[in-house]
């Protein structure tokens, strides 16, 4: 895959460059997150970084902020070169970062959270009055209406996020401010505040790195934008030369990468009866009025940005976080699960997106993890039949092509892709009738991804219905019979397998569908 620097002037006068990345690579066990990325950020500009989920945006930003160290490459700040930065180095170089998830000390007041790294002091004592006064000034300056004496935990998530932006912009007095998906958790009216703060800081001579996966927002806020795709820096462009479609094409890539051999036109006609029907499922503030049906043998994709409610819908169905309203029908019978154990009893399994924390028991062996859900199938009376179990495990390992030295190997010794296959094997072993797969291809390399998608397409869906989400839309396009588009917690569109284009889907996921037919569920069936 080629990568050029676009129209960025690489030989520009060094005083003009605030930050330069040269050949930055980051390898994680089993996957390459960044591959020789070059970026040149000018002083005083708002520089956007955009890419699909898993393109490497967050890793890149963490390297700049000194949170992770790169495997190779050099970072230049104000003309000085570094192999890697520590967080303290980065702070000394006046680089501030607002991370994706608001990270505050919830029991401290708003004012204290703002000044946690830099208390206003009288000698050894904290000057509380001064602290509150300064905090009030800052909050006022940003036109925010928050009482600085309340607990940070009492603010809404959106306000918490803004608070961190304020801290980075006004308290830390940084030269380079990184906003990592800062707008993702903002309420709509707070977005305008954010944009105003950005403009104000830019006027004050700050350089701002703005990371987002929303093309439109980026075009509105940024001067220049760098596109990342699969860990490569594709190009850097001036925003004036771009519109949303052009940017979408850059993000998705000219040629569609097809990893799986399936007939594009083939639409399964012989689907079984409806196994899962969801009606008006609502969890206030998270997802609203979600309705869909899933047939046996069908693969249904849920496409949506992070925070669009994909994960939460799954969790609602299996009974981890209960929905406020709505009904779930399994095989035509009304069901409401209180726990995943109850859902498993009806043959519904959920593959969580966070495999380390929620998917695997990392200090147990591959065998023990694989059979965790399916011990009933290898029981003889009360006891486990070890030889039957070994055979079942061997079959799973072979079918999923898991690379292990032995089934007794501890699962945390495997690479990311093989770990993910273990999780898939674990939920498949019980022989369920409904799979809810939340990003089964997240953070795995290309061959493991292909393997997992093949298994989903060719074997899992034979006896069951599947709902799946994926970090990459092309995965969904490749394997799904039907794709529902989620935007801000609502279903806003439906695509059927056929001649759909990735860029259409991409723009629908970005919220395009809503604009075209407000109030209606747009249909892209062709």
Partner 1 sequence: MPRKLQIELFLLDNLIWVLLACFFLLNALITPMFATYGNLVNILYHSAIMSMLVLGQGLILVSGHLDLSLESTLVFAPGVAMLLATRWLPFQLDPVTTIILTLAIGALVGLFNGVCIAKIGVNPFLQTLSLMIILRGLVLFLVPLSIFPLDKVYTFAGQARMIGNIPVAVPIVFIIFLFFHFIMQYTAFGRHFVATGGNARASYISGINTGRMVIYAFVIAGFLAAVAGLLAAGRQDSVSNTMGEGMVMLAFAGAILGGASLEGGKGTPLGMLGGALLLGMISNSLNLLGVGVTLVYATQGALIFVAIVLDRIRIKRRNYLLHREQVRRLLIQEQGG
Q: Does 222 bind partner 1 (CB under 8 A)?
A: no
Instruction: Count the neighbouring beta carbons within 10 Å of the beta carbon of residue 279.
Output: 15
Cα(377)–Cα(347) distance, integer angstroms:
13
Look up residue 452 and give its two tokens: 């997992």
Least distance to partner 1, CB of residue 190, Å: 31
Stretch that binds partner 1, among 192-200, 223-231, 406-414, 452-460 (CB under 8 A): 406-414
**Vertex 168, ends 220 and 110: CA angle to 5°?**
115
Interacting stretch for partner 1, rule CB under 8 A, among 124-132, 156-164, 350-358, 474-482?
350-358
Q: How far is the CB of 23 from partner 1 (least distance, A)?
A: 16
Site string for partner 1, 179-218 (x = CB under 8 A): ----------------------------------------
273 binds partner 1 (CB under 8 A): no
Residues 6+ apart with CB under 8 A from 169: 96, 177, 197, 201, 206
Residue from 126, 187, 267, 375 that binds partner 1 (CB under 8 A)? 375
First to last CA, the chain: 32
Residue from 160, 161, 373, 469 in contact with partner 1 (CB under 8 A): 373
* 306 in contact with partner 1 (CB under 8 A): no
Length of the chain measured in residues: 526
Residue the block writes with tokens 């300056």 = 141
| Measured distance CA(300)–CA(467) in Å, rounded | 5
3-state secondary structure 300-366: EEEEECCCCCHHHHHHHHHCCCCCCEEEEEECCEEECCCCHHHHHHCCEEEECCCHHHHHCCCCCEH
Cβ distance to partner 1 smaller for residue 169 or 402: 402
Near partner 1 by CB under 8 A: residue from 5, 22, 25, 27: 27
> Per-residue x/- marks for partner 1, 308-327, CB under 8 A?
----------x-x-------
Structure-block tokens of residue 144: 């925010």
Which residue among 111, 152, 300, 344 contacts partner 1 (CB under 8 A)? Answer: 344
Q: Is residue 359 close enough to count as binding partner 1 by CB under 8 A? A: yes
Long-range contacts, stretch 172-175, CB < 8 angstroms, 24+ apart: 172/91, 172/94, 172/96, 172/117, 172/118, 173/94, 174/94, 174/95, 174/96, 174/206, 175/18, 175/93, 175/94, 175/95, 175/205, 175/206, 175/207
- Residue of the chain from 143, 339, 458, 523 that contacts partner 1 (CB under 8 A): 339
Contact between 405 and partner 1 by CB under 8 A: the answer reads yes
Candidate residues 34, 251, 300, 371; the one interacting with partner 1 per rule CB under 8 A: 371
Q: How far is Cα 308 from Cα 291, in angstroms, rounded to an integer?
A: 15
From candidates 184, 277, 364, 522, binder to partner 1 by CB under 8 A: 364
Interactions with partner 1, residue window 421-450 (CB under 8 A): 426-427
Binding span for partner 1 by CB under 8 A among 41-49, 101-109, 368-376, 509-517: 368-376
Q: What is the CA radius of gyration of the chain?
A: 25
Residue 368 in contact with partner 1, rule: CB under 8 A: yes
Locate 438 and state its tokens.
Answer: 């939340």
List residues near partner 1 by CB under 8 A: 27, 29, 318, 320, 339-341, 343-345, 349-350, 352, 357-364, 368, 371-373, 375-376, 379, 382-384, 386, 405, 409-410, 412-413, 426-427
């Amino acid at each position: 895959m080629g990568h050029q620097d676009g129209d960025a002037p690489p030989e520009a006068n060094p005083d003009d460059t605030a930050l330069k990345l040269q050949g930055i690579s980051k390898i994680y066990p089993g996957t390459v997150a960044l591959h020789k990325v070059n970026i040149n950020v000018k002083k005083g500009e708002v520089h956007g970084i955009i890419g699909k989920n898993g393109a490497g945006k967050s890793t890149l930003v963490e390297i700049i902020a000194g949170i992770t160290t790169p495997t190779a490459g050099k970072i230049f700040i104000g003309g000085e070169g570094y192999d890697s930065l520590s967080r303290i180095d980065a702070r000394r170089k006046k680089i501030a970062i607002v991370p994706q998830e608001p990270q505050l000390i919830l029991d401290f007041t708003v004012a204290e959270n703002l000044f946690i790294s830099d208390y206003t002091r009288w000698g050894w004592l904290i000057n509380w009055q001064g602290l509150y006064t300064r905090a009030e000034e800052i909050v006022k300056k940003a036109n925010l209406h928050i009482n600085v004496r309340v607990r940070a935990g009492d603010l809404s998530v959106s306000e918490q996020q803004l608070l961190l932006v304020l801290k980075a912009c006004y308290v830390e007095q940084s030269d380079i401010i990184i906003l990592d998906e800062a707008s993702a958790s903002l309420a709509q009216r707070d977005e305008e505040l954010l944009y105003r703060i950005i403009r104000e800081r830019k006027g004050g001579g700050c350089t701002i790195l703005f990371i987002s996966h929303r093309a439109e927002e980026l075009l509105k806020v940024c001067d220049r934008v760098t596109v990342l795709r699969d860990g490569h820096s594709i190009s850097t462009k001036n925003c004036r030369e771009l519109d949303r479609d052009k940017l979408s094409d850059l993000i998705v890539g000219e040629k569609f990468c097809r990893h799986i051999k399936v007939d594009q036109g083939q639409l399964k006609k012989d689907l079984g009866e409806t196994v899962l029907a969801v009606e008006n499922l609502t969890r206030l503030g998270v997802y609203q009025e979600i309705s869909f049906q899933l047939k046996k043998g069908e693969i249904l994709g849920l496409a949506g940005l992070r925070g669009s409610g994909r994960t939460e819908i799954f969790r609602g169905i299996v009974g981890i976080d209960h929905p406020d309203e709505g009904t779930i029908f399994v095989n035509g019978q009304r069901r409401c699960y209180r726990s995943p154990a109850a859902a498993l009893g009806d043959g519904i399994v959920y593959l969580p997106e966070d495999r380390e924390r929620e998917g695997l028991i990392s200090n147990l062996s591959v065998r023990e993890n694989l059979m965790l859900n399916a011990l009933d199938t290898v029981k003889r009376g009360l006891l486990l039949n070890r030889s039957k179990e070994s055979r079942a495990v061997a079959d799973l390992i072979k079918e999923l092509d898991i690379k292990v030295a032995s089934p007794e190997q501890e699962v945390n010794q495997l690479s990311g892709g093989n770990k993910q296959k273990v999780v898939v094997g674990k939920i498949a072993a019980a022989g369920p009738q409904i799979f809810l797969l939340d990003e089964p291809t997240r953070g795995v390399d290309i061959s493991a991804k292909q393997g997992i998608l093949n298994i989903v397409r060719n074997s899992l869906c034979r006896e069951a219905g599947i709902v799946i989400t994926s970090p990459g839309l092309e995965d969904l396009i490749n394997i799904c019979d039907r794709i529902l588009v989620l935007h801000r917690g609502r279903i806003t569109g439906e695509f059927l397998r056929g001649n759909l284009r990735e860029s259409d889907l991409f723009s629908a996921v970005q919220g395009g569908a809503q604009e075209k037919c407000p109030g209606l569920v747009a249909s892209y069936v062709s």
